[in-house]
Structure 1
Amino acid sequence: MLGTQRNPHVDLLRGAAIASVLLLHFALAFGVKESPLGTLFGPAFVNAVALNGNYGVTVFFVISGWLITTNSLARWGSLAHIDVRAFYAARARRILPPLLLALAIIVPLGCAGVPFFDNSDADPALPASFFVPAVGSVLTFWHNVLMQSTGYFNYCLNVYWSLSVEEMFYLALPLAALLLRRTWLLVLLGVALIVAGPLYRAEHADNELFYMYGYLACFDAIALGCLAALLAHRLHAPLPYARLLRWIAGAALVALYLRGIRGHEVFGFTWIAVSAAVLLVTTQRSAGPSVAAGRVLAPLRWLGRHSYELYLFHIVVLALLRNLFDKPALSYAARLPLLALFLAASALLSWGVQRMLERPVRNTGRSGLPGPA
């Protein structure tokens, strides 16, 4: 039976994913190619690294499917035996306390009309009363659907679309497992979602609110994570040539990421998810010392362990910084120090939230289930 001990490869992959999201949002807010990074590496390469962060979200979805399936198998032996009440209670303990704190910061500032916290991203701007359906959609798993009908409307809240995708997965997985009862039927459901993903994205390739944020646009990545976990559960020895496969999958992941999203809206997300899933399978039962566990990569593993809190609160830090610094007035030399300040403040806030709020609440129940990526 697979255990729940932390896997440094998973933390590393999750750390790289959240780093790409942080860099994307900073680049959109303040720019990075107009900094010493652009001079050193070239603006095209810096843009490729900074502006494809939505692929990082795809990796999160794969990791979520992997972790929830792996740990459900470890706890209950099979998906058909999931204790629905215990599963939902564990999810609520993990997700809700930090999320409610983030909303308790964003909504009052937005109602007070503080820029980048209010609903002024919409055209025309939406009133403070729109926080009622907006917050309700975040808490009831359809914020991405609200964005598809409304457009971008709130700088802070709109990044929570991906949480709605994951929450819907958390809601559906135990119900599907109890209804279908057979692993092969769950596999068929996963395959159907993997097929549906590119078809849905092809239908909506001209609208990022759909090809990136729709349920069917994202569930194929989660399904690949689930199927990878089911495959790993059946392996009783390390995969032959696992290290070679891992390096090939890692190289493919980097190459696909740098190739970018534009022009690859249909299958780009699929291949990113496949590469991440292969990485996870090849690391589950790997033997020997691991580069991922080394000291050099410890900062990325730390980001991975705090990825949920970073996801929730980095946008709060960024919104505050946008109230303090104006992008057109920001000098070439100031961008990298501001990036460092953003990363440090986000990390410190996320660490504090996890230590003082999330961890004590989660310890009230011994779920054995990981948090969302």
Structure 2
Amino acid sequence: MTPAFQTIPSLNGIRAASVLLVMLSHAGFGEIVPGGFGVTVFFFLSGYLITTLLVNEFGHTATIDVRNFYIRRFFRLFPPLVVTLAIAYSLVASGFLPGGITLYGVLSQLFYFANYYAMNADIGKVMPGGTVILWSLAIEEHFYIVYPLVMLGLLSRGVSVRRIGQLFVVICAVVLLWRLYLASQPGFLSARTYFGTDTRIDSILFGTLLALWHNPMARIAEKERMSVAQWAIVAAALGLLFATFLFRSEFFRQTTRYTLQGIALYPLFYFAVRYHDNFVFRHLNWQWISKIGIWSYAIYLIHYVAIIFVETHWSGAAGHPVMVFLVAAVISICYAMFIDKWIDPYFRWRARPRPAGGRGKDASSVAAQTGH
């Protein structure tokens, strides 16, 4: 069913919460703040958003404009990335930031294979400090390159969204088995499963399943109360999430953890969007939180560079993680405001008009809201 709303509630708030989790973890709270989970949430959100957009577009136009999709992604992602890398490499060259400058390091980051390059390289010597986080952008970009073509091929052949979801469930199961195999090998390194597209793509696919099977945008509830059974599902999902944080086995953390977190996020996303004005979820839609969510991409790009810069030039940083976080947050938000005002407006792609009679308003509005 086509979503009735032109914007998706709560998602910018979820983005804001996720990027703050990552920042807190990198600032020195990694032992108590699950920064890696923040990245997993970003993956899930990307799968949900892109699938909602593509299915909506196909439902209104009987096709998916893959060309426009790629161009939008390029103009949305690449200019801020280039500006961030220019800053990071300039800081390294001038001696203000630790790290290295290598041809392969630059190419891996510009052409989105930094995740696989980082598995086998001494990161501190081949790229600027703080830019290792680009591994996650590489995974998302690999998904963006392949996914619209897959969806266009399946939908144009009459494959139902339910069947497509079943196919993705099979892929998620295969990815889990692949992680279990890799983690059981002698000499296994956790970077192999943490950074790999082939080992993390299921975190994105769980988000696609929500859009395909139970898209909350099809049944938004205004001022409707959640039932006891629904609260029980939320409690169970939260309990499952906390279990994945508490169980510290490294084998579990590099294998089954990602699958269980994807399962737990499914109902949490559903209720956060469907019941967005509920007292538990409404804070995700506060204006200032939503703004941070809108800026989250630029914040994510620069935040770790800012943290390492602060730690490098402040001898007492190790004992003051709160101050490190606050200073880095101010730097990151100011940077995001700069990108929003001076970079993004000059690289916005306007899709060509839809066929006469097409009702593409919902999909384009979702794309504008989310930056996709």
- Pick the TM interval, shorter chain: 0.7 to 0.9
Listed one character per residue, the Cα deviations across residues 165-200 of structure 1 (whole Å, up to 9, x for unaligned) are 000000000121233342455324412321123223
- 1:48 partner letter: I
State the match for 2:164 in structure 1.
186
State the match for 2:358 in structure 1.
none
Structure 1 stretches lacking a partner, 5+ long = 33-45, 120-127
Is residue 222 of structure 1 aligned with residue 204 of structure 2? yes
State the match for 2:265 in structure 1.
276
Percent identity between the aligned chains?
A: 25
Q: TM-score under structure 1 normalisation?
A: 0.79
For residues 242 and 287 of structure 2, what CA distance do their matches in structure 1 show?
A: 19
State the match for 2:87 in structure 1.
105
| Structure 2 contact 9–276 (Cα < 8 Å) conserved | no
Shift of 1:363: 6.3
For 2:245, which of 231, 252, 257 is the aligned residue? 257
For 2:133, which of 159, 169, 174 is the aligned residue? 159
Q: Larger deviation: 8-17 or 171-180?
A: 8-17
State the match for 2:359 in structure 1.
none
| Structure 1 contact 252–275 (Cα < 8 Å) conserved | yes
Shift of 1:210: 0.9
Matches within 5 A, 1:319-330: 319-326=308-315, 329-330=316-317
Q: TM-score under structure 2 normalisation?
A: 0.80
Shift of 1:233: 4.1
Alpha carbons of structure 1 residues 24 and 289: separation in structure 2 relative to 1, 3 Å: closer
- 1:86 partner letter: N
Shift of 1:214: 0.6
Matches within 5 A, 1:32-43: 32=29
Listed one character per residue, the Cα deviations across residues 63-96 of structure 1 (whole Å, up to 9, x for unaligned) are 0000111122223328972111011111112111
Is residue 134 of structure 1 aligned with residue 112 of structure 2? no
Listed one character per residue, the Cα deviations across residues 312-347 of structure 1 (whole Å, up to 9, x for unaligned) are 011221232133113xx4474x44233221222222
Alpha carbons of structure 1 residues 246 and 301: separation in structure 2 relative to 1, 3 Å: farther
Shift of 1:60: 0.8
Shift of 1:55: 1.5
Structure 2 stretches lacking a partner, 5+ long = 353-363
For residues 277 and 176 of structure 1, what CA distance do their matches in structure 2 show?
A: 22
For residues 179 and 264 of structure 1, what CA distance do their matches in structure 2 show?
A: 36
| Structure 2 contact 311–324 (Cα < 8 Å) conserved | no
State the match for 1:340 in structure 2.
326
Is residue 148 of structure 1 aligned with residue 111 of structure 2? no
Matches within 5 A, 1:56-75: 56-75=38-57
- 2:192 partner letter: F
State the match for 2:192 in structure 1.
210
- 2:281 partner letter: A
State the match for 1:195 in structure 2.
173
| Structure 2 contact 210–266 (Cα < 8 Å) conserved | yes
For residues 163 and 89 of structure 1, what CA distance do their matches in structure 2 show?
A: 17
For residues 284 and 45 of structure 2, what CA distance do their matches in structure 1 show?
A: 23
For residues 152 and 252 of structure 1, what CA distance do their matches in structure 2 show?
A: 33
Is residue 362 of structure 1 aligned with residue 348 of structure 2? yes
Q: Larger deviation: 10-19 or 178-187?
A: 178-187
For residues 9 and 24 of structure 1, what CA distance do their matches in structure 2 show?
A: 23
Alpha carbons of structure 1 residues 203 and 338: separation in structure 2 relative to 1, 3 Å: same
| Structure 2 contact 206–266 (Cα < 8 Å) conserved | yes
For residues 96 and 295 of structure 1, what CA distance do their matches in structure 2 show?
A: 28
| Structure 2 contact 217–273 (Cα < 8 Å) conserved | no
For 2:302, which of 313, 319, 343 is the aligned residue? 313
SS at match of 2:281: helix
State the match for 2:338 in structure 1.
352
Matches within 5 A, 1:72-87: 72-77=54-59, 81-87=63-69
CA RMSD in angstroms comes to 3.1
State the match for 2:3 in structure 1.
2
Is residue 19 of structure 1 aligned with residue 3 of structure 2? no
- 1:200 partner letter: W
State the match for 1:43 in structure 2.
none
SS at match of 1:2: coil
